[in-house]
C-alpha cells in the first residue's frame, strides 16, 4: 500500500511538473458520491448535481456567505427593496467576465440580459428555451416562484427589477439557491443558432470560479481555475471529481492520498478516520432533520394518542448510537437548532414504553395493531441507513404490541409513493435549502404540502398553517420567531411526526488542504481552498 502511495505521489509530481512551466500547479481531487445528472442546475434538485454544476461553474445574484446561511451580494452588488416588499431592484456588478472555453468565446461581459434569460427560461412557457431539456424546472416550481413572480424587467444593462405578487421574506435567500444560477444568454443564442441547444447541459459556460474541462461519464469530472473570476482566482489550478459511489472506497482513496476531500463517510468509519494522522475530520451540525411521518389520513394514525404513543415507544438514543455511531443529536423540533424559530427545551416525547402502552390502551388499541414502515433505500445525510433504523424501530414497537412491516422501493419510486400518501408511516428528512424556517415548516407541514406531496404526514392543521403563512410575510425577525415558536408547539402536541435526529455532517479532508469551509446546507465549495 505504501508503495503505491509513493508511486502515486511521484506520478502526480511527474505529471504536473511539465504542465506547470515554472510555478507548481495545484490540483485537488474530490471523491464525490455520485454522478451529476447534468450541468445545468435549473433541471435538478440534488446536491450531487449541484456540487458538480452550480457551485463550481456558476454564480447567482445573491450568494450564501460560505459556512453560514447568511447571504451577501453576488452578481448583484446591491439591491433596493420597496416598502411594501413587492419590488426588488438589483444593481448588477460590472466587469464580470463569462468563461472562455473551446466551445464558446464571449464577446461581452455579464449583464441584465443574462439574468432575464436565466429566469424567464424557467418561468415563461412561451420562452424559446423553456422546452429545451423537457420544460421541467423542479426547484423553480418547488420554491413557488411561478406563483410568486409577477414581473421581471430590465431597466438597463446593469439593473434588473423583480416584482412579486406577495411579500416574501425568503425571496433573497431563495435567489442564492442553485436553481437561480445565472446562465449566459449569449451562449444560449449561439447554441440556438447552431441548432444544438441541449449542449448547454453538457458543455456549460458560467461566471464561476472553475471552468468545465471534461466529463468522463460516471468516472471523472475535470475543471480548471477561471483566471478571470471576479472575486478572486482560485488557488487550485486543476479540480478533479472522482466519482466513487461506495463510502468505504472513498475512504480508502482518501487514506491513500488519491483524493484530498471526500463526501459522506460511513458513520462506522468515523472513529478510524479520527485516528488517521493525515486526515482532518471536519464536522458541522447539519442543517437537517430526520423524521418518521405518520400518515394522519390513515387509521389508526388519525388518532393523536396513537401517534403520541408510538413516539414514546421509540428509543431514539439507541438509534443515534447504532445508526449514527453517536454522531447526531436527538431532534425535538422539526427544524434544526440554528434556524430561526427553534424552541429550546421543547417538551419532547422521551422514551417511555410504559406510558406508550397506556396511551395506546386509552386510544382503544390495547391489543396493538399492524402498520407498515417505509424506509428509504439510499443513504441521506439525515439518515445513513433507513432500513437498519427501521429494524430498530420495528423491535421497539413490537414491545408495545404494534406489528410492523418494513416496505421499501427504489428511491425515485419511494418518493413518488410517499408523496401520494400510500404509506402509513414513512421515513424521510430534509436538509434546508436556504436556512429559512419557512423552507422547513411551510413546505413539510403546511396544508399546501399535502397536495404537492411534500407533507408526508398529510397533516393539515388550520392553526399551524395560519401561523406559518403569516410568518412568510412578516419581516421582523423577532415577530417571526414568535409565530414559529407557537406553530412548533402545536406541532409537538399533535405529533404528526416522530422527530428523530439532526445529524452532524462530517467531511474528511487531508491535512494538505487549507481553508476548506463546510457549508451547513451540505454543499461542497472549492473556490477558497488551497493545497500545500
Nearest residue (CB) to another protein, 88 versus 427: 427
- Could you tell me which stretch among 276-284, 299-307, 407-415, 467-475 binds another protein (CB under 8 A)? 407-415
Q: Are 264 and 383 in contact (CB under 8 A)?
A: no
Q: Rule CB under 8 A: is residue 469 a binding residue for another protein?
A: no
Closer of 319 and 495 to another protein (Cβ): 319
**Alpha carbons 228 and 223: distance in angstroms, whole number:** 14
Q: How far is the CB of 420 from another protein (least distance, A)?
A: 7
Residues 38-77 interacting with another protein (rule: CB under 8 A): 38, 43, 45-46
Considering only the stretches 11-19, 90-98, 304-312, 516-524, report the one whose residues sit in contact with another protein under the rule CB under 8 A.
11-19
CB of 27 to another protein, least distance (A): 7
User: Least distance (Å) from another protein to the CB of residue 404?
Assistant: 10
Position 190 contacts another protein (CB under 8 A)? no
Beta-carbon contacts of 158 under 8 Å, excluding residues fewer than 6 positions away, are 91, 92, 93, 94, 111, 112
Closest separation in Å from C-beta 124 to another protein: 14
How many residues in the chain? 532
Closer to another protein at the Cβ: 407 or 474? 407
Exposure string (b/e) for 4-15, b if CB count within 10 Å is 16 or more? eeeeeeeeeeee
Q: Does the footprint of another protein cover residue 116 (CB under 8 A)?
A: no
Least Cβ distance, residue 448 to another protein (angstroms): 9
Is residue 261 within 8 Å of residue 516, measured between CB atoms?
Answer: yes
DSSP-assigned states of every residue in 292-353: EEE-TTSTTTTSHHHHHHHHHT--HHHHHHHHHTT-EEE--SSS-TTSTT--TT-------H
| 12 counts as binding another protein under rule CB under 8 A | yes
CA distances from 309 to 163, 361, 390, 422 (A): 48, 9, 17, 22
Beta strands in 483-524 (DSSP E): 497-510, 513-514
C-alpha grid cell, residue 85: 416588499
Of 55-63, 164-172, 241-249, 332-340, which part binds another protein (CB under 8 A)?
241-249
Q: Taking the complex as a whole, how short is the minimal distance between the CB of residue 512 and another protein, in angstroms? A: 15
Under the binding rule (CB under 8 A), the answer on residue 247 touching another protein is yes
Asked whether position 2 contacts another protein by CB under 8 A, the answer is yes
Q: Please state, as a whole number, how many other Cβ atoms lie within 10 Å of the Cβ of residue 336.
A: 25
In the list 123, 369, 409, 525, the residue contacting another protein (rule: CB under 8 A) is: 409
User: What are the distances in angstroms from CA 72 to CA 65, 69, 89, 176, 179?
Assistant: 6, 10, 15, 9, 17
Binding of another protein by 127 (CB under 8 A): no
How many residues line the site for another protein (CB under 8 A)?
84
* The three three-digit cell numbers of residue 486, written as one number: 407557537
For another protein, the closer of residues 244 and 295 by Cβ is: 244
Nearest-CA neighbor of 447 among 436, 438, 458?
Answer: 458
DSSP 503: E
Closer residue to another protein (CB): 143 or 160 = 143
Of 278, 377, 463, 517, which lies in the binding site for another protein, with binding defined by CB under 8 A? 377
Residue 405 is given by DSSP the state E
How would you class 440 by CB atoms within 10 Å of its CB: exposed for 0-12, middle for 13-18, buried for 19 or more?
buried
Which of 240, 294, 320, 343 forms a contact with another protein (CB under 8 A)?
240
Q: Which of 97, 127, 233, 387 binds another protein (CB under 8 A)?
A: 387
Q: Examine residue 475 and tell whether it contacts another protein (CB under 8 A).
A: no
For residues 158 and 255, which CB has a smaller minimum distance to another protein in the complex? 255
Q: Are 317 and 489 in contact (CB under 8 A)?
A: no
**C-alpha separations of 488 from 52, 76, 270, 302, 458 in Å:** 36, 35, 33, 19, 16
Identify residues 421-460 at the interface with another protein (CB under 8 A): 430, 443, 449, 451-454
Residue 23 touching another protein (CB under 8 A)? no
By beta-carbon proximity to another protein, the closer residue of 88 and 139 is 139
Enumerate residues 262-321 that contact another protein by CB under 8 A: 266, 268-269, 272, 318
H or E element in which residue 241 lies:
strand 238-243
Within 191-220, the residues that bind another protein by CB under 8 A are 198, 201-202, 214, 216-220
Distance CA 473, CA 6 (A): 59
Q: Which of 78, 82, 138, 515 binds another protein (CB under 8 A)?
A: 138
394 binds another protein (CB under 8 A): yes
Q: Which is nearer to another protein, 207 or 431 (CB)?
A: 431
Taking CA atoms, 350 is separated from 151, 308, 312, 460, in Å, by 49, 10, 6, 25
Q: Binding residue for another protein (CB under 8 A) from 18, 22, 95, 134?
A: 134
Q: How many Å apart are CA 401 and CA 396, to the nearest integer?
A: 9
Point out which span in 103-111, 153-161, 164-172, 240-248 binds another protein (CB under 8 A): 240-248
Q: Taking CB under 8 A as the rule, does residue 482 contact another protein?
A: no
Residue from 4, 78, 475, 515 binding another protein (CB under 8 A): 4
Reduce the DSSP state of residue 431 to 3 states and report it: strand
Dist CA 266 CA 324 (whole Å): 9
Q: Does residue 148 bind another protein (CB under 8 A)?
A: no
Answer yes or no whether residue 243 interacts with another protein by CB under 8 A. yes
Please tell me whether residue 360 adopts helix, strand or coil conformation: helix
Amino acid at each position: 500500500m505504501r508503495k503505491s502511495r509513493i508511486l502515486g505521489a511521484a506520478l502526480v509530481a511527474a505529471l504536473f511538473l511539465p504542465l506547470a512551466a515554472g510555478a507548481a500547479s495545484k490540483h485537488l481531487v474530490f471523491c464525490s458520491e455520485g454522478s451529476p445528472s447534468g450541468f445545468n442546475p435549473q433541471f435538478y434538485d440534488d446536491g450531487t448535481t449541484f456540487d458538480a454544476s452550480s457551485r463550481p461553474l456558476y454564480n447567482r445574484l445573491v450568494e450564501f456567505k460560505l459556512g453560514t446561511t447568511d447571504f451577501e451580494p453576488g452578481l448583484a452588488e446591491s439591491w433596493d427593496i420597496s416598502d411594501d416588499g413587492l419590488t426588488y431592484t438589483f444593481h448588477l456588478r460590472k466587469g464580470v467576465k463569462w468563461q472562455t472555453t473551446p466551445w464558446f468565446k464571449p464577446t461581452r461581459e455579464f449583464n441584465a440580459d443574462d439574468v432575464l434569460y436565466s429566469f424567464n427560461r424557467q418561468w415563461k412557457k412561451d420562452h424559446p428555451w423553456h422546452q429545451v431539456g423537457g420544460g421541467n424546472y423542479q426547484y423553480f416550481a418547488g420554491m413557488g416562484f411561478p406563483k410568486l413572480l409577477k414581473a421581471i424587467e430590465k431597466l438597463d444593462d446593469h439593473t434588473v427589477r423583480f416584482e412579486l405578487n406577495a411579500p416574501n421574506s425568503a425571496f433573497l435567500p431563495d435567489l442564492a439557491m442553485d436553481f437561480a444560477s445565472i446562465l449566459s444568454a449569449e451562449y444560449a443564442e449561439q447554441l440556438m443558432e447552431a441548432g444544438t441547444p441541449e449542449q448547454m447541459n453538457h458543455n456549460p459556460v458560467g461566471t464561476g470560479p472553475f471552468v468545465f474541462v471534461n466529463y468522463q461519464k460516471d468516472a471523472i469530472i475535470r475543471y480548471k481555475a477561471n483566471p478571470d473570476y471576479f472575486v478572486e482566482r482560485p488557488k487550485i489550478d486543476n479540480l478533479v471529481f472522482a466519482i466513487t459511489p461506495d463510502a468505504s472506497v472513498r475512504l480508502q482513496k482518501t487514506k491513500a492520498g488519491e483524493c484530498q476531500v471526500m463526501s459522506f463517510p460511513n458513520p462506522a468509519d468515523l472513529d478510524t478516520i479520527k485516528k488517521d494522522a493525515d486526515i482532518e475530520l471536519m464536522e458541522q451540525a447539519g442543517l437537517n432533520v430526520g423524521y418518521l411521518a405518520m400518515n394522519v389520513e390513515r387509521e389508526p394514525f388519525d388518532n393523536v394518542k396513537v401517534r403520541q404513543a408510538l413516539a414514546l415507544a421509540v428509543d431514539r438514543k439507541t438509534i443515534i448510537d447504532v445508526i449514527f455511531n453517536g454522531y447526531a443529536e436527538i431532534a425535538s423540533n422539526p427544524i434544526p437548532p440554528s434556524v430561526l424559530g427553534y424552541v429550546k427545551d421543547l417538551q419532547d416525547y422521551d422514551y417511555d414504553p410504559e406510558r406508550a402502552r397506556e396511551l395506546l390502551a386509552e386510544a382503544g388499541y390495547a391489543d396493538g395493531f399492524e402498520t407498515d414502515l417505509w424506509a428509504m433505500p439510499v443513504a441521506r445525510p439525515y439518515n445513513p441507513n433507513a432500513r437498519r433504523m427501521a429494524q430498530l424501530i420495528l423491535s421497539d414497537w413490537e414491545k408495545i404490541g404494534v406489528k410492523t412491516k418494513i416496505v421499501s422501493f427504489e428511491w425515485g419510486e419511494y418518493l413518488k409513493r410517499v408523496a401520494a400518501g400510500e404509506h402509513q408511516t414513512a421515513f424521510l428528512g430534509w436538509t434546508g435549502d436556504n436556512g429559512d424556517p419557512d423552507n422547513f415548516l411551510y413546505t413539510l407541514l403546511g396544508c399546501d404540502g399535502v397536495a404537492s406531496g411534500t407533507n408526508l404526514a398529510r397533516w393539515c392543521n388550520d392553526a399551524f398553517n395560519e401561523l406559518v403563512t403569516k410568518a412568510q410575510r412578516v419581516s421582523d425577525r423577532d415577530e417571526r420567531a414568535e409565530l414559529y415558536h407557537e406553530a412548533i408547539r402545536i406541532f409537538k402536541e399533535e405529533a404528526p411526526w416522530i422527530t428523530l435526529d439532526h445529524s452532524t455532517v462530517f467531511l474528511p479532508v487531508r491535512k494538505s488542504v487549507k481553508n476548506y469551509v463546510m457549508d451547513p446546507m451540505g454543499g461542497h465549495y472549492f473556490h477558497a481552498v488551497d493545497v500545500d
